Amino acid sequence: MVTLSAIGAKERELILDNLALLARLFWGPDESLCQDLCEEGCRGFSELGPLLSPPGPAAARDLEEALAGFADSSQLRDHMETAYVRFFVSRQGGVTAPLYHSCYLGDGLLMGPPAQEMARRLEAAGLGLEEGSSEPPDHLAVELEYLILLLEEGWAHDDPALLAEAAEFAGGFMLPWVEAFLARLSSEAGPRLYPAAAEFLTALLARLGRF
């Protein structure tokens, strides 16, 4: 059986770097993120995209195009802040695509079973949200950071159990709701950066979940 341990060092690095960048994107824009995107573009996405199944390659190209038209980090930040609020925070008629896993199951209420499961996983790993954070533990960026931890520890210690958990977490726990999240984003016209990032993420989670 092929496992995540079979992935080569270069692809491992690309996967971890891309997951980290996706987590930063879904935490919301800040000056440091926008400077990095303006200086380095989406080289990491472009390098990993061809290794993924659709929509990964096309999403990487869309991300590159979405970032190409900004003169500086301030212009990019203004654009990202507007899109972030529109898609994820506040919009007349309701938020397009909440960033919380619980919103995509059952009655769609915050702090549902996925939040409880993530709180359990974080506690078991000796982790917690930053002091003062008001975000539920099933925020997309929190789940991405937890996945990064599983992969980093699993690869560093060549631990089959951790890598199996990472594959299950990516493909079984995250992918179904991230696909629903993407469907909501894709139904809206407007800025392409975040929908393209969600498309790329679904392709990456699908790859990780196949192992």
Reduced 3-state DSSP string for 136-156 = CCCEHHHHHHHHHHHHHHHHH
Give the rounded percent of residues in the chain with a pLDDT score beyond 90: 76
Q: How far apart are CA 135 and CA 151, in angstroms?
A: 23
Q: By three-state DSSP, how is residue 42 classified? A: coil
User: Quick one: fold of 4-209?
Assistant: TorD-like (1.10.3480)
Indicate the average pLDDT of the chain.
91
| Confidence check: pLDDT of 108 > 90 | no
| Residue 96 in this model has a pLDDT that exceeds 70 | yes
> Is the overall model pTM greater than 0.85, yes or no?
yes
pLDDT for 130 beyond 80: no
Q: List all residues 6 or more positions away from 74 whose beta carbon is below 8 Å from its beta carbon.
A: 34
Lowest average pLDDT, out of 1-15, 30-44, 48-62, 126-140, goes to 126-140
pLDDT at 104 over 90: yes
Long-range Cβ contacts of 6-9 (<8 Å, 24+ apart): 6/211, 7/211
